[in-house]
Amino acid sequence: MRALACPQAVDAPPTAPRAFARLATLALWDELALCPKPGLVSLRDAGAHDDMSARTFVRSLFALRRHFAALAAAGADGAPFATLRDLGLRAEADMLRATGGVNTHRGAIFAVGLLCATVARASAFGAAPSDATLRRVLRDAWGPALAAHVPASTSHGALVARLHDAGGARGEAAAAFPAVFDIALPALRAARAANCNWRVARIRALLALLAHVDDTNILYRGGRAGLAYVQQRARGLRDGDDAIAFAEAMHRDLVARGLSPGGCADLLSAALFVDAVQGAAR
């Protein structure tokens, strides 16, 4: 595979919608480039998928850049959730055109897009993007609408969430992203505090998500038994373990079982986006 260019990072603190959109696009790239990721597509292989590759994801993420800017601009203006939803549907349509109908980033459009709107809304008030501030802004601006939102019944995530009584993307957003702020970001920060490099820190954040999140993609492919297996396996990682070797072995296992935790990948992207915004604001 030929080398794929990384989206350009932002040096200055982001204050404009396009700056937030670049950070969002970079977060999607960072998730894609991370390897090994159990069952997931990376620059190295297609994981448990036979309908997509890294190139599919790259086409998708570049198609989404302008949509993240639009979502950030709408958030800064205090637009209602209905506006954000319509912008997200336009982004999804462009994603499907870019990928030939393959769903690469539907969950990320929802999670990262909503967080784009949230950080832009906080920035419009001059507020620092702390965890508590972002969660409060999200709840105040769109919490009631998110709680009442009924996702498209044809999506795998929505169907599985109803079948297994799982919260899915809507429930995660309505609760102001506990998987991002209570699981992924603390794991990322703890790994960095332990002097782990960026790769190990991100793998540990992903494994923390796998250990605790009811991923509807896994439920769709493997049912409750598949989810229980993935969570138990991920919980086997201990402090001091070689996270790369652990994730590599788990990756081979999930590929053999046909399991891919796409929901956790979207939540990792969301956490990386928030982490980048907070880092740029320091």
| Residue-number span of the structural domain to which 33 is assigned | 17-281
**Would residue 12 count as lying in a domain?**
no
pLDDT at 170: 85
15-19, 49-53, 64-68, 196-200: least confidently modelled range: 15-19
The phi, psi pair for 58, rounded to 5°, reads -65, -45
Which of 164 and 214 is assigned the larger pLDDT? Answer: 214
Whole-prediction pTM value? 0.91
CA dihedral 120, 67, 158, 221 (to 10 degrees): -110
Render pLDDT for 142-185 as a digit per residue (tens, 0 to 9).
999 998 876 655 555 555 544 444 457 888 999 999 999 999 99
**Cα 224 to Cα 204: distance, rounded to the nearest angstrom:** 23
Q: What would the two tokens of residue 143 be?
A: 């919490």
**Cα 65 to Cα 51: distance, rounded to the nearest angstrom:** 23
138 pLDDT above the threshold of 60: yes
> b vs e for 233-268, b when ≥16 Cβ sit within 10 Å of the residue's Cβ?
bbeebeeeeebeebbbebbeebbebebbbbbbbbbb
CA triple 196-42-258, angle to 5 deg: 110
pLDDT at 155: 54
Render pLDDT for 97-109 as a digit per residue (tens, 0 to 9).
999 999 999 999 9
Nearest to 269 by CA among 121, 52, 110: 110
**Would residue 248 count as lying in a domain?**
yes
Q: What would the two tokens of residue 270 be?
A: 């969301």
pLDDT at 159: 53
**Would residue 150 count as lying in a domain?**
yes
| DSSP 8-state secondary structure symbol assigned to residue 52 | -
What sign for the dihedral angle of Cα 274, 275, 277, 281?
positive
Residue 125 sits in a domain of what CATH number?
1.10.4200
Say if residues 269 and 114 touch (Cβ distance below 8 Å).
no
pLDDT-based confidence at residue 196 (cuts at 50, 70, 90)? very high
239 pLDDT above the threshold of 60: yes
136 pLDDT above the threshold of 80: yes
> How far does CA 121 lie from the centroid of its chain?
20
**Would residue 86 count as lying in a domain?**
yes
- Number of Cβ atoms within 10 Å of the Cβ of 26: 20
- Number of Cβ atoms within 10 Å of the Cβ of 214: 20
**Would residue 8 count as lying in a domain?**
no
**Cα 228 to Cα 219: distance, rounded to the nearest angstrom:** 9
257 pLDDT above the threshold of 50: yes
216 pLDDT above the threshold of 60: yes
Nearest to 170 by CA among 146, 145, 142: 146
Report the number of distinct structural domains present in the chain.
1
41-50, 146-155, 188-197: least confidently modelled range: 146-155
pLDDT-based confidence at residue 117 (cuts at 50, 70, 90)? very high
pLDDT at 10: 40
58-67, 111-120, 142-151: least confidently modelled range: 142-151
Which of 49 and 10 is assigned the larger pLDDT? Answer: 49
**Would residue 5 count as lying in a domain?**
no
**Amino acid letter, 265:** A
208 pLDDT above the threshold of 70: yes
pLDDT at 149: 74
Strand ranges inside the chain, DSSP E = none
CA distances in angstroms from 217 to 24, 31, 161, 184, 213, listed in the order given: 22, 17, 10, 18, 11
**Would residue 112 count as lying in a domain?**
yes
The residue-averaged pLDDT of 51-63 equals 94
187 pLDDT above the threshold of 50: yes
pLDDT at 158: 52
141 pLDDT above the threshold of 90: yes
pLDDT at 85: 96
**Would residue 6 count as lying in a domain?**
no
For residue 99, count CB atoms less than 10 angstroms from its CB and return exposed for 0-12, middle for 13-18, buried for 19 or more.
Answer: buried
The phi, psi pair for 4, rounded to 5°, reads -110, 135
The residue-averaged pLDDT of 271-275 equals 98
pLDDT at 164: 41
The phi, psi pair for 28, rounded to 5°, reads -65, -40
The residue-averaged pLDDT of 269-281 equals 97
pLDDT at 148: 87
